[in-house]
Amino acid sequence: MVLTYFADLPQDEVAAAMGIRRGTVASTLSDARSSLAITLKEVI
């Protein structure tokens, strides 16, 4: 999430930087957003 949202890198560049496939980046971002949404709902 940091590379995508704070460093403003496109998913292709995140994948290259991390040595993983672009699909893995997309999947991981989706999971992370879901987890964050759940956590924020619990806090609010």
Could you tell me the pTM of the whole model? 0.84
The pLDDT tens digits of the residues spanning 4-41 come to 999 999 999 999 999 999 999 999 999 999 999 999 99
pLDDT given for residue 28 in this prediction: 97
Which residues, including other chains, have CB under 8 Å from residue 21's CB and lie 6 or more apart?
Answer: 15
Question: Is the distance from CB of 36 to CB of 8 less than 8 angstroms?
Answer: no
pLDDT given for residue 29 in this prediction: 97
Tally of domains in the chain: 1
Q: Residue 44: pLDDT above 90?
A: no
Determine the angle formed by the axes of helices 11-18 and 22-43, rounding to 10 degrees.
100
Question: What's the full length of the chain, in residues?
Answer: 44
Domain limits for position 33: 2-43
pLDDT given for residue 30 in this prediction: 98
d(CA 29, CA 20): 13
